[in-house]
Structure 1
């Protein structure tokens, strides 16, 4: 009996062929993607072939490389800040702690030399130790008080020395800032006491100047008064004195009621009647009139007393 086998549709392409095709495609894609590298903005690139650096410096952008053979390392050439604390002694042996911030950058053209000789950890290998050493060296030249008063001078010296030191490794110092000087508590107390003493001395000096100025003003005022009195004395003449006397006597005559004071005991004011144009006759008449008036007043008083007693005086 003849058995008929069922007809099976065999694939047109073998499975093995499909697998290899997929693998080749993936490998091709992997090669393509590894043939390009991007250097980021603010960096420069260096080819590294089997661990060896190439001195060709790459600008930011996309670059070709040999897949699986070459890599591109990136070097930051932007300004970078390094901060460090340094403990040292001043010229007068005062302990001082300095906090310094340094802004530096890598020279683009010398990135290969720096990476080849120092490596990527140049901040810890070169920058920080240089800052520590130079700050200690500069602070030892100044007394503690001058470190505070001449901070800008100290910072300039540190910047100059650090610039020369880092230039050996193609590093550029952009700026340096001495953030803080920290001294011992005993030194801070002595500085505070000195400032208080200086303020008191300044106040005393100002008070002395004020007293001297006031004394000078009084002397000047006295001299001015003396000069004024001297000028007034020069203006006084005998004629002026006589005129003033006549004015005073005229005022006295205008106020006099013609009676002499009834109570004595003091000096009677002297009035020069001749100077006022009053003669001796006028004065006598005035005296007689005064006497008549006093007599009439006396007679009237006696008559009134007799009437009251009931008697009539002959």
Structure 2
């Protein structure tokens, strides 16, 4: 009885050791896919997230990351007007979960995608897009340039099973000579704009003065036209009435001069 029990325990232990060594179980984590290899040959079927069983010795499973990754790089290129431009870009991407077997077969593990696919694609796309614009247009039409680079990346990376989620231009860097030229042009444009504004202000002020002078002249003309003989007589009568209203009833006394004042009441 005891020998049989020991025998079963030994068999169970050996089986456990064999299972642990051969490891037939594979766990595919969140954001991962499994590429199955049968004696090194890539199979089309891809393992999704969860627990899977593989055939020991015969099958091997390579884990591929399908989560969104961020890559940064730069591309040196010449603009349409032959200015040297360094473009710093950032791209978010992930592997197409349905094509991870092809990616592994053509490129290798996920770590190789960034160096072998993403960076060269970014460099080529930047060169293709910037060559269509002058240096100034790269700045003024930044969104348009960004979209063109993005379209180049989408087309190029789709062939390798890479999906572009987002793309942005971090910065454009130009030569020192070009930066100095841009600064001088900006200063000249600002001075020109200030001169135009000053000229417009002077013109407006002159027009205001002319308008005011014309209004005053028109007012004087209208007043002159309204001054008639009857109006003059009316004003004289009004002045006499105001003088009478102010008179206190006493005649003025003249104390000097050639003509004395004569009181007519004395002759009566």
Normalised TM-score (structure 2): 0.84
1:46-195 to structure 2, matched below 5 A, reads 46-120=35-109, 121-195=112-186
Q: 1:258 aligns with which of 227, 252, 258?
A: 252
Unpaired runs of at least 5, structure 2 = none
What's the RMSD between the two structures over aligned residues? 3.0
Match of 1:24 in 2: 14
Unpaired runs of at least 5, structure 1 = 1-11, 264-283, 293-314
User: Aligned equivalents of 1:130 and 1:261: distance in 2?
Assistant: 120
* 1:191 Cα deviation from its structure 2 partner: 1.2
Residue 287 (1) aligns with residue 261 (2): yes
Match of 1:276 in 2: none
Match of 2:192 in 1: 201
User: Contact 1:50–1:70 at 8 Å: present in 2 too?
Assistant: yes
1:271-282 to structure 2, matched below 5 A, reads none
Q: 2:208 aligns with which of 217, 229, 233?
A: 217
User: Contact 1:134–1:158 at 8 Å: present in 2 too?
Assistant: yes
* 1:156 Cα deviation from its structure 2 partner: 0.8
- Shift in alpha-carbon separation, 1:261–1:88, aligned structure 2, 3 A: farther
* 1:67 Cα deviation from its structure 2 partner: 2.4
- Shift in alpha-carbon separation, 1:65–1:217, aligned structure 2, 3 A: same
* 1:25 Cα deviation from its structure 2 partner: 4.3
User: How many residues end up aligned between the 2 structures?
Assistant: 257
Of structures 1 and 2, the one scoring higher in RCO (CA 8 A, sep 6+) is: 2
Q: Which 4+ residue blocks in structure 1 deviate beyond 3 angstroms?
A: 16-23, 246-257, 259-263
Match of 1:241 in 2: 232
SS of the equivalent of 1:174 reads strand
